[in-house]
Amino acid sequence: MSENSKPVALIVDDEVAIQRLLRIALENEGYTVYEAETGHAALTEIVYRKPDVIILDLALPDIDGLAVLRRLREWSQVPVLVLSVREEVQDKVTALDLGADDYLTKPFAADELAARLRVLRRNSRQEPEDPVFTSAHLEVDFPSRQVRFDGQEVRLTNNEYALLRVLVKYNGKVVTHRQLLREVWGPNACDQSQYLRVYVNHLRKKLQSKQLSTSLIQTEPGIGYRLNTLS
């Protein structure tokens, strides 16, 4: 929340008329309002503004709003209300499955929007989130997906990054084979433990240093893996 104790809302929409309508409605509800017209700008604003709620359109000029939502949920649980002209049930299901907290179609009533946002904030258990993870050897910038090891940028594939992100999320805790497979490759991959071993080995090779007495990624035999950032 901002220094003046007002809740902060971020509008992600490129339609000027919608921006104006939302700004009026949100300011009447006591919000400090910021805007982003593209998906990339939204991700930057989220890091900088630290909004309490986000109103997200799906039809953005650069990347689809669903891609923004997918990226955001890699590191933040800020409440998101999708506001879109897309009325198909599958669009709503997809957005909710990707982490949206609510879905409202355009045109909308300002009173209903305000009520839905009140519910989101009431149900939110959001804790302060840091978009950058830093340890003695490892740095992960989640919004930009940049990884540095001992100060040097490390190029990771999408699956390698997704695997590292889950290990960082549970830093210091053992993550089971099944949980890693489910979170990185989906529920249908839960029995592909040999697949997981291959990617863990690739990731270890890219995150190794003579300064480390042990591997950054520790094996818990028969159970899973643990990120050890204290080595």
Tens of pLDDT, residue by residue over 152-174, are 999 999 889 989 999 998 888 89
In the prediction, which pLDDT does 126 show? 59
Domain 132-227 CATH class label: mainly alpha
Percent of the chain predicted with pLDDT > 90: 57
Supply the pLDDT for residue 228: 85
pLDDT in tens, 35-92: 999 999 999 999 889 999 999 999 999 999 999 999 899 888 899 999 999 999 999 9
Of 60, 57, 70, 64, the residue nearest 104 (C-alpha): 57
Q: Please state the rounded mean pLDDT for residues 121-146.
A: 81
- What stretch(es) of the chain map to CATH 3.40.50.2300? 8-123
Q: Where are the alpha helices (DSSP H) in the chain?
A: 16-28, 39-49, 65-72, 89-97, 110-123, 158-169, 177-185, 193-206
Q: Given this model, what pLDDT does residue 35 score?
A: 97
User: Does the domain made of 8-123 have the CATH classification 3.20.20.70?
Assistant: no
Give the residue-averaged pLDDT of 127-141: 81
Q: pLDDT higher for 213 or 110?
A: 110
- Greater pLDDT, 47 or 210: 47
Confidence grade of residue 195 (pLDDT, cut at 50, 70, 90) = confident
Query: CATH 1.10.10.10 residue ranges in the chain?
Result: 132-227
Give CA–CA dist 136/197, Å, rounded: 25
Cα angle 218, 222, 226 (rounded to 5 degrees) comes to: 25
pTM to 2 decimal places = 0.74
- Cis bond before residue 107 (omega within 30° of 0): yes
Q: What is the pLDDT of residue 137?
A: 87
